[in-house]
Chain A
Amino acid sequence: MTEIIVVTSGKGGVGKTTTSASLSCGLARRGKKVAVIDFDIGLRNLDLIMGCERRVVYDFVNVIQGDCTLKQALIKDKRIETLFVLAASQTRDKDALSSEGVRRVLDELTAEGFDYVICDSPAGIEKGAHLAMYFADRAVVVVNPEVSSVRDSDRILGLLASKTQRAEQGNGGVKEHLLLTRYSPKRVATGEMMSVTDVKDILGLDVIGVVPESTDVLSASNAGVPVILNQESDASRAYDDAVARLLGESLPLRFVDEPKKGFFTRMFGG
């Protein structure tokens, strides 16, 4: 049984690709066979975050247009045996992505025995974003604790509830989860940033993960190694918890409270 998960947000720059890369690595590391697809036609980036940008020969649109087979276009990850990347097309027009084509690719991945297909949605609510969510069984809505991101997420939730195959067929709809990124417990403590509970109350969804603001995220994308693979990082642990929750484990949220500081740290920085 293949589960299709869309990683979406509406707003750009909130961490969709970072999240797609880390969740797919995390699932594959736990033995699942995973394909992660970049739906951002014209603005390919997942390959960079995954560190396979120099191995892209064929892309998603090539497969859809029959220029190559799906097998030829899937890039096998060098770190994790069961992980495959399908890159977005860089040059062709956005109309190259058709609903029928996307369905065919997803059906073929299902037939190939993939456990999970992660669809990395582009920002916005245009065709690419629509097709990324259309066939999904579940959605991970990435949100920053910030007004425009929260509002856009709500718009996306509206689309998930109406413009998806599951919504149209009326069989329970897409299961939705929230994933907060760039979370700063310190700023939440001083009342400068909305808390997990605030965002959860406004959007009315369960939270599958809270990833703290971390310098490791930039280092990870610089290096082309998904941040979940940096075992030293809190962001990595937070993503791994999210993966466990996706797989049905129930874990308490970590990294949501400010670590207690001693007197000297507070006075002299740290």
Chain B
Amino acid sequence: MGLLALFRRNPPTANVAKERLRIIVAQERSARGGPDYLPLLRRELLEVIKKYVNVDPEAVQVNLEREDGHEVLELSVALPGGKRI
């Protein structure tokens, strides 16, 4: 590293990488092993909701929780006004 390089450092982005990965890996792990229809279900639900309320694509969360013996399909929609149904 020369003298000039002291003033021209790359920004420290490792933490950004770590945070992004933490979220996406957790999300992909939760979807793993679940039925293949979940993404399509999510998309179609979004279409229906959009007929009535203008929601963000990110606002619809579909999760499959496994509890002993049975599975729970959990649907969460964040409405623009801050209300949740």
Q: Is A195 within 8 A of B33, CB to CB?
A: no
* A residues at B contact (CB < 8 Å): 146-147, 150-151, 154-155, 158, 162, 187-188, 190-195, 198, 201-203, 266-270
B-side interface residues, number (CB < 8 Å): 21
- How many A-B pairs with Cβ below 8 Å? 55
Question: Of B10, B15, B18, B29, which contacts A190 at CB under 8 A?
Answer: B10
Stretch at the interface among B1-9, B39-47, B60-68: B1-9
A231 to chain B, nearest CB (A): 28
Is B22 an interface residue when CB atoms closer than 8 A count as contact?
yes
Q: Is B14 within 8 A of A188, CB to CB?
A: yes
Q: Is A151 within 8 A of B25, CB to CB?
A: yes
Q: Which residue of A lies closest to B1 (CB)?
A: A269
Contacts of A202 in B (CB 8 A): 18, 21-22, 25
Is B28 an interface residue when CB atoms closer than 8 A count as contact?
yes
A170 to chain B, nearest CB (A): 15
CA distance A97 to B7 in the complex (A): 54
Task: Give chain B interface residues in 1-60, CB to chain A under 8 Å.
Answer: 1-3, 9-15, 17-18, 20-22, 24-25, 28-29, 32-33
Contacts of A187 in B (CB 8 A): 10
